Amino acid sequence: MIQKYLIAIGLGEARQHRLLGRLRRDGLYVVLDRPGLLAASKTPSKAIPIGKSGCILGSLFSRTSAKRVLSLPGSETEYILDSGGRHLLGKYWGDYIALIPLAEGPAVLRSPFGTLPCLYRAADQHACLASDIDTLQLGTEGTWSVDYDAVARQLVFADMRLRETCLEDVCEVRGGERAHFLRGRAEHHVLWSPWDFVIAGRAPPGAQEAAAKLREETIRCVQAKTDDMDRCLVMLSGGLDSSIVAAALTASGRDAQCLNLVAPASAGDERVYARAACERLKLTLAERRMDEGSLLRDLPATTHLPRPVARSFEQMLYRTTGDIAEELGCDTIVDGGGGDNVFCSLQSASPAADCLLDRQGLSVFRRTCNEIAALTHASASRVARKAVRRAWERSRPYRWPAAEQMLSPKAIAAAHRPPLHPWLSAGNPPRPGRSAQIAQLIGAQSFMEDGPHGAKSNVVSPLVSQPLIEHCLSLAPWQWIERGCNRAIARRAFSDMLPPEVIWRRSKGIPDSYIVQLYEANREMIRDRLLGGLLAGAGVIDNAAVEAALDDPTPFRGRECSRIVRLMDVEIWARGITG
pLDDT digits (tens, 9 = 90+) for 59-77: 999 998 888 999 999 899 9
Q: Does a structural domain hold residue 358?
A: yes
501, 522: one domain: no
pLDDT band for position 269 (cuts 50, 70, 90): confident
pLDDT at 293 over 80: no
516, 554: one domain: yes
Gap between the Cα atoms of 569 and 310, Å rounded: 7
22, 42: one domain: yes
CA proximity to 120, closest of 139, 103, 93? 139
pLDDT band for position 300 (cuts 50, 70, 90): very low
Alpha helices (H) in 379-482, listed in sequence order: 380-392, 409-415, 422-425, 432-449, 466-473
Give the pLDDT of residue 201: 62
Which residues does residue 61 pair with via DSSP β-bridges, in sequence order?
Answer: 68, 93
What single-letter amino acid sits at 231?
R
pLDDT at 124 over 90: no
DSSP code, position 263? P
pLDDT one-digit tens code per residue, 216-228: 999 999 999 999 8
- pTM of the complete model: 0.94
pLDDT at 554 over 90: no
More confident residue, 522 or 126: 126
356, 474: one domain: yes
Q: Does a structural domain hold residue 101?
A: yes
Q: Does a structural domain hold residue 97?
A: yes
Report CA dihedral (503, 505, 506, 508) to the nearest 10 degrees: -100
Give the pLDDT of residue 67: 87
Give the pLDDT of residue 404: 95
113, 11: one domain: yes
CATH code of residue 496: 3.40.50
314, 325: one domain: yes
- Provide the mean pLDDT of the chain: 90
Alpha helices (H) in 282-405, listed in sequence order: 312-328, 339-342, 350-357, 365-376, 380-392
How many distinct structural domains can be found in the chain? 3
Give the pLDDT of residue 200: 63
pLDDT one-digit tens code per residue, 356-403: 998 889 999 999 999 999 999 999 999 999 999 999 988 777 888 899
- Say which residues have a Cβ less than 8 Å from residue 79's Cβ, sequence separation at least 6: 87, 91
pLDDT one-digit tens code per residue, 304-334: 899 999 888 888 889 889 999 999 999 999 9
4, 132 Cβ separation under 8 angstroms: yes
Gap between the Cα atoms of 568 and 17, Å rounded: 42
pLDDT band for position 282 (cuts 50, 70, 90): very high
Mean pLDDT (whole number) for 123-134: 91
pLDDT one-digit tens code per residue, 14-52: 999 999 999 999 999 999 999 999 999 998 888 999 988
210, 326: one domain: yes
pLDDT one-digit tens code per residue, 170-228: 999 999 999 998 877 889 999 999 999 987 667 788 999 999 999 999 999 999 999 98
168, 220: one domain: no
pLDDT one-digit tens code per residue, 406-424: 999 999 999 987 667 888 8
Q: Does a structural domain hold residue 387?
A: yes
User: What's the angle, vertex CA 321, arms to CA 265 and CA 345, rounded to 5?
Assistant: 65
pLDDT at 301 over 70: no
pLDDT band for position 298 (cuts 50, 70, 90): very low
Give the pLDDT of residue 454: 78
Alpha helices (H) in 450-579, listed in sequence order: 466-473, 488-493, 500-503, 512-520, 523-531, 534-537, 543-551, 558-578
Give the pLDDT of residue 396: 78
462, 368: one domain: yes
Output 523-527 pairs: Cβ under 8 A, ≥24 positions apart: 523/550, 523/556, 525/296, 526/550, 526/564, 526/568, 527/551
Mean pLDDT (whole number) for 457-482: 95
Of the residues 480, 506, 532, the one at which a domain ends: 506
Q: Does a structural domain hold residue 274?
A: no
Give the pLDDT of residue 259: 97
236, 249 Cβ separation under 8 angstroms: no
Gap between the Cα atoms of 579 and 576, Å rounded: 5
Of the residues 444, 479, 506, the one at which a domain ends: 506
Of the residues 448, 476, 506, the one at which a domain ends: 506
CATH code of residue 69: 3.60.20.10
299, 572 Cβ separation under 8 angstroms: yes
More confident residue, 569 or 518: 569
The percent of residues above 90 in pLDDT, for the chain, comes to 69
Gap between the Cα atoms of 109 and 175, Å rounded: 8
What single-letter amino acid sits at 306?
P
Q: Does a structural domain hold residue 559?
A: yes
171, 215: one domain: no
DSSP code, position 286? E
466, 382: one domain: yes
Q: Does a structural domain hold residue 268?
A: no
- For residue 556, the enclosing domain spans 512-578
Give the pLDDT of residue 394: 81
Q: Does a structural domain hold residue 311?
A: yes
320, 447: one domain: yes
The mean-pLDDT minimum among 4-8, 264-268, 349-353 falls in: 264-268
Output 25-32 pairs: Cβ under 8 A, ≥24 positions apart: 26/135, 26/138, 28/4, 28/135, 31/5, 31/55, 31/57, 32/99
